Homo-oligomer: A and B are copies of this chain.
Amino acid sequence: MSTDHADVVRAYWAAAEARDWDAFAATLSPDVVYRVPQTREVVRGREAYLRFNTEFPGDWHVRVDRVLADAQGAMSRTTFTVGGEVMTGLCLFTMDEQGLVAEVEDWWPEPYERPADRAHLTELEG
């Protein structure tokens, strides 16, 4: 099952990048729930989630960096580009019994300053 879940996640992102919304919908459970815990946003159901993606603002592009999967679901790290901005996205997926995406938890970590109280413990690179 774990290989299947990774394949579903790769198909999900490939369809999103291609704006192939039929292929994208085919990866989703009818009752899919999407959450952005950082904003407390939630989108419930395949139709609403398709609309969220098709109408999402900006000419965004997504590249898959890494996918991990197990018997329950999967996670992906992606590089998301919109305008001149480049962000890392981390998604956790839970699949239903048919192997379709039942839950998506979408995380967007932003840059921050290294806290002074651990500056003696780390170096800076890049």
Contact = CB atoms under 8 A, between A and B. Distances in A.
Contacts of A77: 92
A97 B66 CA distance: 19
A42 B111 contact: no
Interface string A1-17: 01000100000000000
Contacts of A109: 37-38, 90, 107-110
Contact of A52 (B52, B66, B122): B122
Contacts of A6: 70
Number of copies of this protein chain within its complex = 2
Interface residues of A, number: 46
B111 A39 contact: yes
Contacts of A52: 118, 121-122
Interface string A109-125: 11111110110011111
A15 to B, nearest CB: 18
Contacts of A2: 2, 70
B92 A41 contact: no
B88 A123 contact: no
A44 B122 CA distance: 9
